[in-house]
A and B are shown apart, each in its own frame.
Chain A
Amino acid sequence: MRKILAAGAAALVLAAGAAQAEPVKIGVITTLSGGGAGLGIDMRDAFQLAIKQSGNSEIELVVEDDAQKPELAVQIAEKMIQSDKVDLMTGIIWSNLAMAVIPNTVAQDVIYLSPNAGPSALAGANCHPNYFNVAYQNDNFHEAMGEYDNKDYKKTFILAPNYPAGKDALTGFKRYYKGELAGEIYTQVGQTDYAAEIAEIRASGADSVYFFLPGGMGIAFMKQYAQSGVDIPVTGPGFSFSQDVLPAIGDAALGVKNSATWAKDLDNAANKAFVEAFSKEYNRLPSIYAAQSWDTANLILAALGKASVKDRQAFRAALKEADFASVRGKFKFNKNNHPIQDIYVREVVKDGDVLTNRIIGTAFTDHGDAYADQCAM
């Protein structure tokens, strides 16, 4: 499974005459097999493409598959730190894996940049100068949808998987949603049958459903929901309607509103270049995981231009400046090294034959997170 690739063969030739800078080793631990593989593969592909396009030949990537298993991720992280001696680490998709890996990694003076997971436990009192979250704090998307749903709904049924990100999700939703809750259910991680939950939704008298079920779980839920004859409208965070799962959900997703920091139609030059480059290289549309990973790579590249990664203090300061062109348009770091950014509401539409999202409004501008004040950094 171990792949080491020196990026940019062409760049190597060009850089041959240039001064020999010290190589930078980046460890990428992500989910490349099993049910969650689609998310990790989008993450890895976007990251590799960004590094390749930069032509920076000093960057060496060590990519490994965590198979969505926390214990495996911990082993790989130890190996990357001890024997590969990586300077930076990134790649983890799932919050339970992030919780298992990040605290121990940042304590060993390796900088970790999260391209996706943002558990609340690491955003507040346990924030760390070596931990940068380039994606979001887990509550964020759900806060946005909770706020948006106030407009249309008064009695919502909410459900999420029983793991850190699931709890953060429902907490975030409830922080802004003002109506009544018709019910609240925690499902199993990796659950594939939702008949029991759908029956409860039907019986609850809810006027809407809000669900957070990333990857295959969301596909299963949406298909079964559409087949069940329950016609209560659903909303969700962007993960439930991301590009990696939309084709498998099919038309059942059409018209569903969801919240995200990014969509492929977001109007800025960096995003246009990203969507075009990714689609051309991999022959598919990028998902939000790809977008966040692309930003992570470009943040690292921008910081490398300002400071040596070996000088951790200077490099951290360079990262914190966030001086890169984000595909999300605006991006800056909060005091807890989590993003301050805009969050949009999107709608699933058909673009020709392809299901995708388009932005229909802004839920929050310059939105931080609820835990930053507890961070003593």
Chain B
Amino acid sequence: MAAFVSGQFRTQDRYAPLPELLQPAGPIPLSLALLIEQLLNGLQLGVMLFLIAAGLTLIFGVMGLINLAHGSLYMVGAFACASVAATTGSFWLGLVTSLAAAAAAGALMEVAVIRRLYARDHLDQVLATFALILVFSEGTRWLFGSFPLYLDIPPVLQGAVALPGGGQYPLYRLAIIAVGVLVAAGLYLLIGRTRLGMRIRAGETDREMIAALGVDIRALYTLVFALGAALAGLAGALVGALQSVQVGMGEPALILAFVVIVIGGIGSIKGALVGAVLVGLVDTMGRFLLPKLLALALPATQAGPVGAAIASMLIYILMALILAFRPSGLFSARS
């Protein structure tokens, strides 16, 4: 009856009363392929969060500083990558630029503002770094405008690979997981096996003593800050190709990163890794499974929205539970 003929296909209105509305035919069957895909999605989200949280926890562990502007460095990375990729046509050049730009922005931030905050209490740090968020957001808006930028994944990483069980998984997301594993291994080696890592660990334990031993603590702090910033920038560039590169993209990511480091134990890289993967898996599997579980007990019209609402709280419930049993997180660096 509603044939679409030459650009006109209906003129008459009809409204179905709400109870007659369609319901999904039935829950989507849980297959092995879907389960594997969702586990990979959770892992990938976790790895992404780790890249942001690693810098945040490193900076807190070494300098005792709460840096709310960490999300801004993530945004700087994404914008640097998007604008360089748009002008040169190369994602890889953009990726390198994003590391450099975020590290430079981080170093500048440390020298100009953060350095004055180490001796002050956390409230001052939070206030000052919150101000930095506003400065970075408005600065970025001023430079790039209010509309989202375009950034696509590089051609080599386009497409999907087959999974056991008949599923498919995007190559780019697998690459993100690989980058995350490499960064985790690299940080482990850097902190555990190098002279710089030894100084970082010493700085965490006793900053007066290491300064007294003749280590240039100011340069060390700037370096650690730039390293953390570069990791955030890398995450921003990688995520920028998946999402929309826009002003304000850093703050939601920052909130999740804080959840991760609170769960993992503030200051612990290992804790950040475990916490990030945990949060990634719980969030993804919650979104995936909760509406299905609720559909067993609730009518289908309610199961969807209620499931979605609870799924969005799940990681905070996880954080509250972990804090109740281990108040300093899973792997606290300071206990």
Asked if A313 is at the interface of the complex by the 8 Å CB criterion, the answer is: no
Q: Inside 8 A of A219's CB, which chain B residues have their CB?
A: 148, 243-244
* Cβ B242 vs Cβ A150 within 8 A: no
How many residues of A are in contact with the other chain, CB < 8 A? Answer: 64
Q: Which residue of B lies closest to A163 (CB)?
A: B305
Scan A223-234; emit 1 where CB is below 8 A from any B CB, else 0: 110011110000
Asked if B205 is at the interface of the complex by the 8 Å CB criterion, the answer is: no
Asked if A35 is at the interface of the complex by the 8 Å CB criterion, the answer is: yes
CA distance A175 to B170 in the complex (A): 35
CA distance A145 to B17 in the complex (A): 18
Scan A341-377; emit 1 where CB is below 8 A from any B CB, else 0: 0000000000000000000111111111010000000
Scan A155-182; emit 1 where CB is below 8 A from any B CB, else 0: 1000000100001000100110100111
Q: Inside 8 A of B239's CB, which chain A residues have their CB?
A: 192
Given contacts A186-B304, A188-B308, are A151 and B168 in contact (CB under 8 A)? no
Q: Which residue of B lies closest to A35 (CB)?
A: B248
Asked if A204 is at the interface of the complex by the 8 Å CB criterion, the answer is: yes
Scan B142-184; emit 1 where CB is below 8 A from any A CB, else 0: 0000111110110000111000000110101100000000000
Asked if A190 is at the interface of the complex by the 8 Å CB criterion, the answer is: yes
Q: Inside 8 A of B141's CB, which chain A residues have their CB?
A: 33, 37
User: In B1-15, which residues have CB < 8 Å from any A CB?
Assistant: 2-4, 7-11, 13, 15
* Cβ A185 vs Cβ B248 within 8 A: no
* Cβ B304 vs Cβ A184 within 8 A: yes
* Cβ A193 vs Cβ B243 within 8 A: yes
Asked if B194 is at the interface of the complex by the 8 Å CB criterion, the answer is: no
* Cβ A248 vs Cβ B10 within 8 A: no
Q: Which residue of the partner chain, among A37, A171, A224, contacts B248 with CB atoms under 8 Å?
A: A37
Among B25-33, B60-68, B124-132, the one that faces the other chain is B25-33
Q: Which residue of B lies closest to A162 (CB)?
A: B308
Q: Inside 8 A of A370's CB, which chain B residues have their CB?
A: 15
* Cβ A362 vs Cβ B21 within 8 A: no
Q: Which residue of B lies closest to A251 (CB)?
A: B152
CA distance A224 to B172 in the complex (A): 10
CA distance A18 to B137 in the complex (A): 44
Among A32, A151, A228, A368, find the residue whose CB has the most chain B CB atoms closer than 10 A: A228
B247 → chain A, closest Cβ, in Å?
Answer: 7
How many residues of B are in contact with the other chain, CB < 8 A? Answer: 69
Q: Which residue of B lies closest to A180 (CB)?
A: B25
* Cβ A195 vs Cβ B284 within 8 A: yes
Given contacts A219-B148, A361-B8, are A227 and B29 in contact (CB under 8 A)? no
Q: Which residue of B lies closest to A195 (CB)?
A: B41
Asked if B123 is at the interface of the complex by the 8 Å CB criterion, the answer is: no
Q: Which residue of B lies closest to A144 (CB)?
A: B10
Q: Which residue of the partner chain, among A34, A244, A250, contacts B150 with CB atoms under 8 Å?
A: A250
Q: Which residue of A lies closest to B15 (CB)?
A: A370
Q: Which residue of the partner chain, among B15, B21, B249, B287, contacts A35 with CB atoms under 8 Å?
A: B249
* Cβ A223 vs Cβ B243 within 8 A: yes
Given contacts A171-B21, A248-B148, are A151 and B2 in contact (CB under 8 A)? yes
Asked if B246 is at the interface of the complex by the 8 Å CB criterion, the answer is: yes
A177 → chain B, closest Cβ, in Å?
Answer: 7
* Cβ B246 vs Cβ A223 within 8 A: no
User: In B224-249, which residues have CB < 8 Å from any A CB?
Assistant: 239, 241-249
Q: Which residue of B lies closest to A362 (CB)?
A: B8
B85 → chain A, closest Cβ, in Å?
Answer: 12
Asked if A339 is at the interface of the complex by the 8 Å CB criterion, the answer is: no
Q: Inside 8 A of B287's CB, which chain A residues have their CB?
A: 187-188, 196-197
Among B37, B137, B159, find the residue whose CB has the most chain A CB atoms closer than 10 A: B37
Q: Which residue of the partner chain, among A38, A181, A203, A365, contacts B24 with CB atoms under 8 Å?
A: A181
Given contacts A35-B246, A227-B170, are A196 and B24 in contact (CB under 8 A)? no
Q: Which residue of B lies closest to A229 (CB)?
A: B160
* Cβ B33 vs Cβ A203 within 8 A: yes
* Cβ B146 vs Cβ A41 within 8 A: yes
* Cβ B170 vs Cβ A162 within 8 A: no
Scan B84-106; emit 1 where CB is below 8 A from any A CB, else 0: 00000000000000000000000
* Cβ B304 vs Cβ A199 within 8 A: no
Asked if B44 is at the interface of the complex by the 8 Å CB criterion, the answer is: yes
CA distance A204 to B172 in the complex (A): 23
CA distance A29 to B173 in the complex (A): 39
* Cβ A182 vs Cβ B25 within 8 A: yes
CA distance A367 to B23 in the complex (A): 25
* Cβ A204 vs Cβ B137 within 8 A: no
Q: Inside 8 A of B284's CB, which chain A residues have their CB?
A: 195-196
Q: Which residue of the partner chain, among B148, B242, B312, contacts A38 with CB atoms under 8 Å?
A: B148
Asked if A247 is at the interface of the complex by the 8 Å CB criterion, the answer is: yes
* Cβ A195 vs Cβ B44 within 8 A: yes
Asked if B18 is at the interface of the complex by the 8 Å CB criterion, the answer is: yes
Q: Which residue of B lies closest to A216 (CB)?
A: B244
* Cβ A187 vs Cβ B34 within 8 A: no
* Cβ A360 vs Cβ B25 within 8 A: no
* Cβ B167 vs Cβ A202 within 8 A: yes
Q: Inside 8 A of A250's CB, which chain B residues have their CB?
A: 150, 152
CA distance A247 to B246 in the complex (A): 12
Q: Inside 8 A of B248's CB, which chain A residues have their CB?
A: 33-35, 37
Q: Which residue of the partner chain, among A167, A199, A247, contacts B34 with CB atoms under 8 Å?
A: A199
* Cβ A203 vs Cβ B148 within 8 A: no
Q: Which residue of the partner chain, among A175, A187, A216, A361, contacts B148 with CB atoms under 8 Å?
A: A216
Asked if A148 is at the interface of the complex by the 8 Å CB criterion, the answer is: yes
Scan A208-226; emit 1 where CB is below 8 A from any B CB, else 0: 0000000010011001100
CA distance A197 to B284 in the complex (A): 9
Q: Inside 8 A of A171's CB, which chain B residues have their CB?
A: 18, 21
Asked if A55 is at the interface of the complex by the 8 Å CB criterion, the answer is: no
Asked if B112 is at the interface of the complex by the 8 Å CB criterion, the answer is: no
- Give the interface of A toward B (CB within 8 A): 32-35, 37-38, 41, 147-148, 150-151, 155, 162, 167, 171, 174-175, 177, 180-188, 190, 192-193, 195-197, 199-200, 202-204, 216, 219-220, 223-224, 227-230, 244-245, 247-250, 284, 360-368, 370
5 A-B contacts (beta carbon < 8 Å): A182-B24, A188-B311, A195-B284, A361-B8, A362-B8
Besides A216-B243, A216-B249, 4 more A-B contacts (Cβ < 8 Å) are A35-B246, A151-B2, A362-B7, A370-B15
Instruction: List the 4 closest A-B pairs by CB distance, nearest first.
Output: A229-B160, A219-B244, A248-B148, A361-B7
